[in-house]
């Protein structure tokens, strides 16, 4: 069987396993949409606030479908011995990881399609102004947060503690990065922290592409920050990856 066929077969299996896991579907799809509906209702009379919320939720969606999902799932698969068994099968490692990446990209695309559609139809945001800019930031964001999610999974000792580890990073990041408000209006010390985080710059790029219509060239620094985090994540993800469960 060709590499493409092997990857496609594993990809289909990942999709089936995902839809059979209600908690995974909740965190990947339902939670961001609940936030979108909640804050959309709260700021229904303020288009300025809605223009902030929609790209913010889009950025959070990328983080949930990659960082959160991969960190949780890889710990489970590793500690249950699934990765070790996969390592011993004829399925090449590259094909498995490619299928896993494709699965995350599919979830991201579906979630963003829903958020963009809701923003245009329900919240008056309209369709994106610059599709190339949008696709570029989404692609780099997926790579960045997927790599960081895999890297975080190395530091989680067991699946029981995985939610605590993941949420200890995820929740503060989405609050500080301006998912629900304009980060420029935050206190100075929070703005300084936000400027270091990749989600802040991802949201800025998405906002420019979806709402403000700012030139791509004006947000190359945002793209550079996300790329730096992506490089760091890739290095940590590759160096610490293990197919076997932790001992002791």
Q: What is the pLDDT of residue 1?
A: 64
The token pair at 154 is 């190395």
Each domain of the chain, given as residue ranges in start order, spans: 3-240
Instruction: List, for residues 79-131, the tens digit of each pLDDT value.
Output: 888 888 877 777 787 788 888 888 888 989 988 998 999 888 888 888 899 99
Q: Which two tokens stand for residue 191?
A: 């703005």
The C-alpha atoms of residue 201 and residue 175 are separated, in whole angstroms, by 14
pLDDT at 100: 84
pLDDT confidence of residue 101: 83
Greatest mean pLDDT among 30-34, 117-121, 214-218? 214-218
159-196: b (≥16 Cβ within 10 Å) or e: beebbebbeebbeebbebbbbbeebeebeeeeeebbee
Q: Rounded CA gap, 29 and 24, in Å?
A: 8
Q: Tell me what the mean pLDDT of segment 216-224 comes to.
A: 96
Token pair, residue 153, equals 């999974």
Which of 35-39, 90-94, 148-152, 214-218 shows the lowest mean pLDDT across its residues?
A: 90-94
CA–CA separation, 18 vs 221, rounded Å? 35
Helix ranges restricted to H, 130-208: 131-155, 162-176, 188-194, 198-207
Residue 227's pLDDT band, with cuts at 50, 70 and 90, is very high
Distances (CA, A) of 81 to 44, 76, 87, 211, 213: 48, 9, 10, 45, 48
> In 10 A of CB 129, how many CB atoms?
14
Q: How far apart are CA 84 and CA 78, in angstroms?
A: 7
Nearest to 104, CA basis, from 136, 73, 58: 73
Q: pLDDT by residue (tens digit) across 183-196?
A: 888 888 899 999 99
Which token pair is 44? 């229904």
**CA 13, chain centre distance (Å):** 21
């Amino acid at each position: 069987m060709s590499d493409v066929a092997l990857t496609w077969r594993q990809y289909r299996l990942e999709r089936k396993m995902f839809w059979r896991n209600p908690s995974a579907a909740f965190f990947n799809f339902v939670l961001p949409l609940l936030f979108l509906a909640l804050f959309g209702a709260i700021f229904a009379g303020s288009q300025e606030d809605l223009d902030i919320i929609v790209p913010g939720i889009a950025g959070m969606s990328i983080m949930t479908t990659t960082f959160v999902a991969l960190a949780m799932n890889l710990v489970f698969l590793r500690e249950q011995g699934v990765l070790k068994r996969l390592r011993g099968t004829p399925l090449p490692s590259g094909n498995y990881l490619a299928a896993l990446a494709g699965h995350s990209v599919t979830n991201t695309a579906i979630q963003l399609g829903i958020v963009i559609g809701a923003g245009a139809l329900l919240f008056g945001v309209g369709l994106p102004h610059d599709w190339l800019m949008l696709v570029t930031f989404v692609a780099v964001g997926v790579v960045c947060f997927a790599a960081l999610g895999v890297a975080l999974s190395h530091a989680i000792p067991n699946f029981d503690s995985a939610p605590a580890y993941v949420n200890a990073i995820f929740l503060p990041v989405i609050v500080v990065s301006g998912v629900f408000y304009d980060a420029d209006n935050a206190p100075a010390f929070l703005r300084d922290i936000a400027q270091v985080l990749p989600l802040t710059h991802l949201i800025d790029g998405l906002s420019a592409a979806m709402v403000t219509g700012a030139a791509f060239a004006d947000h190359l620094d945002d793209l550079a920050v996300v790329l730096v985090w992506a490089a760091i994540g890739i290095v940590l993800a590759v160096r610490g990856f293990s197919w076997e469960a932790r001992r002791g």
